[in-house]
């Protein structure tokens, strides 16, 4: 079957991944209202295309925090890539480097920071951090990321506790015995993803902890999970370099806003003082153009990256990114 659009990869992944894995990747919180709204909100936005503009030459490159990427689509942090493909995050890193874009590696990777770095030397990578109750373990992760050549630290702010994902509860989701959360090996007794694992997260984290993070590293800090103007203001005040407007793919608080709707409010509040990115619901190149038109500097894709991996590993993920790149370029041209 010819893979023409991202939904082709979604259909493939749904058909061929084990049901428990598919349910885990696809899960939203509660009734999945926010997960689905992330996609539907894009469909309600319309272009005002302009005609007879010279679109014979188009430059789709951009810079994020000073690093150039080939087009404004990066890979969002998602956990457990080995569930989708045996080489896991190593394949993800190689695909991102081949497409010359940014990959945000998750704390909950099934390959270690060092393995990810070694798999794609020279690639642009940021590291996504959860702050655990064991602060020493979190501090060590930050230092390891910096040592391994990661160029940004992405603090996820929307997970003091895990949202209720009904299918995961029904399925009793846990990592298969041969897989480990490699970055946390040795830091905790529990490195198999058991239901109790997220209880290691620190729910007492506040804005003040950004100062603590800044004392540990020279890396720029990007905060992920912002959905309101009030929090955008606080993020700027606390000296972060970037904001990812995100609702965790609809996996945390259900009934929150779609990210593309929240983007407008955040961009307005920030007024160019820090870079603003968005994830959640991006399925077509035209979605990327809509996000940029509404003020995002770059978008990040989560589930579609996993579908690409499930299809053909590194090659499949490159296919997904290439389709988005081609669709984005075409949308730009047709919109003038």
283 labelled binding-site residue: yes
156 labelled binding-site residue: yes
Instruction: Kindly state the DSSP code that residue 130 receives in the 8-state scheme.
Output: P
Catalytic residue among 81, 178, 198, 248: 248
- Please state the length of the chain: 336
165 labelled binding-site residue: yes
77 labelled binding-site residue: yes
106 labelled binding-site residue: yes
Phi then psi for 63, rounded to 5 degrees? -120, 140
> Whose CA is closest to 21, among 168, 179, 165?
168
Catalytic site includes residue 248: yes
- Measure Cα distances from 242 to 64, 73, 155, 221 in Å: 9, 15, 10, 7
42 labelled binding-site residue: no
Q: Give the Cα separation of 62 and 73 in Å (integer).
A: 10
User: Which pair of tokens denotes residue 208?
Assistant: 């003040």
Decide: 78 and 308 in contact? Cβ < 8 Å: no
79 labelled binding-site residue: yes
> Whose CA is closest to 21, among 326, 313, 310, 287?
310
24 labelled binding-site residue: yes
237 labelled binding-site residue: no
281 labelled binding-site residue: yes
329 labelled binding-site residue: no
132 labelled binding-site residue: no
280 labelled binding-site residue: yes
Q: Which positions ≥6 away from 93 have C-beta within 8 Å?
A: 103, 105, 116, 117, 119, 120, 123, 125
Ranges of H-type helices in the chain: 6-16, 19-26, 33-43, 89-98, 113-119, 135-147, 166-171, 208-216, 229-237, 259-270, 285-293, 303-335
74 labelled binding-site residue: no
- Measure Cα distances from 32 to 36, 160, 183, 253, 255 in Å: 6, 19, 29, 10, 8
Q: How many CB atoms lie within 10 A of CB 94?
A: 21
Are β-strands 221-226 and 153-156 bridged in parallel, bridged antiparallel, or unpaired?
parallel
144 labelled binding-site residue: no
21 labelled binding-site residue: no
Specify binding-site residues for FMN: 77-79, 106, 128, 130, 156, 224, 246, 279-283, 302-303
Specify binding-site residues for glyoxylate: 24, 165, 248, 251
Specify binding-site residues: 24, 77-79, 106, 128, 130, 156, 165, 224, 246, 248, 251, 279-283, 302-303
Question: Which residues are marked as active site?
Answer: 248
């Amino acid at each position: 079957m010819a893979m023409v659009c991202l939904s082709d990869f979604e259909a493939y992944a749904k058909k061929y991944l084990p049901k428990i894995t598919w349910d885990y990747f696809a899960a939203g919180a509660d009734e999945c209202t926010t997960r689905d709204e992330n996609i539907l909100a894009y469909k309600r936005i319309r272009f005002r295309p302009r005609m007879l503009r010279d679109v014979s030459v188009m430059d789709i490159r951009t810079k994020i925090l000073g690093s150039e990427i080939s087009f404004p689509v990066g890979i969002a942090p998602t956990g457990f890539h080995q569930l989708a493909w045996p080489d896991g995050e190593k394949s993800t890193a190689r695909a991102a480097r081949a497409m010359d874009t940014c990959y945000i590696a998750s704390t909950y990777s099934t390959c270690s920071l060092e393995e990810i770095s070694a798999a794609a030397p020279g690639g642009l990578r940021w590291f996504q951090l959860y702050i655990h109750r064991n602060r020493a373990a979190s501090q060590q992760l930050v230092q390891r990321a910096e040592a391994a050549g990661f160029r940004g630290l992405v603090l996820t702010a929307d997970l003091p506790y895990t949202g209720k994902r009904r299918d995961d509860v029904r399925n009793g989701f846990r990592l298969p015995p041969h897989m480990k959360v490699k970055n946390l090996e040795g830091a905790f007794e529990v490195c198999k993803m058991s239901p109790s694992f997220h209880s290691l997260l620190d729910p007492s984290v506040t804005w003040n902890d950004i100062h603590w993070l800044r004392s540990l590293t020279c890396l720029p800090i990007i905060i992920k999970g912002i959905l309101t103007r009030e929090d955008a203001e606080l993020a700027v005040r606390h000296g972060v370099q970037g904001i990812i407007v995100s609702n965790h793919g609809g996996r945390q608080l259900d009934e929150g806003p779609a990210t593309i709707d929240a983007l407008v409010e955040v961009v307005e509040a920030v007024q160019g003082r820090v870079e603003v990115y968005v994830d959640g619901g991006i399925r077509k190149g035209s979605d990327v153009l809509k996000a940029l038109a509404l003020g995002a500097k770059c978008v990040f894709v989560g589930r579609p990256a996993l579908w690409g991996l499930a299809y053909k590993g590194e090659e499949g993920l490159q296919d997904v990114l290439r389709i988005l790149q081609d669709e984005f370029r075409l949308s730009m041209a047709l919109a003038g």
